[in-house]
């Protein structure tokens, strides 16, 4: 079932030009690129309006999963994740956007147990700590010790959107109103998954889309 009806002149996709993440994603997928490339989505109703999109795949190649930050065993020397997060991912629009909504489609593969359960949202126009480069699928590692590593979202120029962790149902979809936020970057800090413990635990989701506020069709804009 699609998330909702199209709202003319409102839900227009905000283009994502780059992604960064704590992990390159499953080695058989395309890393975090698969989060914004429309894979696994039926966009036939209106490809410009993510509120009409429907998740139609449970294939892991069309999802993004990260290994948990915590060490898998005592022989791995790894600092505990900042804010006890399991993983993180950020999205760059290229310039500041007046945002409308965020749409998030959770993992269907394996019953959705690797899907995101609770998460925090952050936004900024200019992070004071440079984001790592977008990882390739080849950076996959079953230890979580990827070149991207952890990233501090509770400071460094980022603003937390929510006061309590947002939740997303297992094998389900959700949407969050971002009305009133103008930002170049949005980041997701994943706090809990739905129970996956394979090789220490995996977490992720299938697809994300952001809509930006645009004038309704036919609206006249007067410039001074």
CATH architecture of structural domain 14-212: Sandwich (2.60)
Q: Which residue has the tokens 């200019």?
A: 126
- Looking at the predicted structure, is the pLDDT value of residue 30 above 50? yes
| φ and ψ of 29, to 5 deg | -100, -155
Average pLDDT over the chain, rounded to an integer: 82
- Looking at the predicted structure, is the pLDDT value of residue 77 above 80? no
H runs (alpha helix) in 93-165: none
C-alpha torsion angle, residues 6, 182, 208, 33 (rounded to 10): 130
b/e code 136-170 from CB counts within 10 Å (16+ = b): ebebbeeebbbebebbebeeeebeebeeeebebeb
Which range is least confidently modeled, 25-34, 55-64, 91-100, 116-125? 25-34
User: Alpha-carbon distance 166 to 161, whole Å?
Assistant: 10
pLDDT at 200: 77
Task: Find the mean pLDDT for residues 29-54.
Answer: 90
Which range is least confidently modeled, 57-66, 97-106, 151-160? 57-66
Provide the percentage of residues in the chain whose pLDDT is more than 90. Answer: 56
Q: How far is CA 53 from the centre of its chain?
A: 16
**What ranges do the domains of the chain cover?**
14-212
């Amino acid at each position: 079932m699609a998330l909702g009806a199209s709202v003319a002149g409102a839900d227009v996709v905000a283009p994502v030009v780059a992604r960064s993440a704590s992990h390159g994603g499953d080695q058989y997928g395309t890393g975090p690129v698969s989060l914004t490339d429309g894979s696994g989505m039926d966009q036939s109703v209106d490809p410009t309006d993510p509120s009409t999109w429907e998740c139609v795949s449970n294939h892991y190649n069309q999802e993004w999963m990260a290994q948990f930050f915590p060490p898998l065993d005592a022989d791995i020397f790894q600092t505990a994740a900042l804010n006890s997060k399991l993983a993180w991912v950020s999205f760059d629009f290229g310039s500041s956007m007046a945002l409308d909504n965020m749409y998030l489609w959770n993992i269907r593969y394996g019953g959705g147990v690797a899907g995101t359960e609770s998460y925090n949202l952050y936004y900024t126009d200019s992070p004071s700590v440079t984001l790592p480069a977008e990882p390739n699928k080849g950076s996959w590692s079953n230890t979580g010790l990827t070149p991207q590593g952890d990233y501090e979202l509770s400071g460094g120029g980022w603003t937390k959107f929510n006061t309590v962790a947002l939740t997303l149902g297992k094998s389900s979809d959700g949407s969050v109103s971002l009305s009133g936020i103008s930002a170049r970057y949005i980041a997701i800090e994943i706090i809990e998954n739905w129970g996956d413990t394979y090789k220490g635990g995996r977490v992720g989701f299938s697809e994300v889309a952001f809509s930006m506020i645009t004038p309704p069709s036919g609206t006249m804009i007067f410039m001074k």
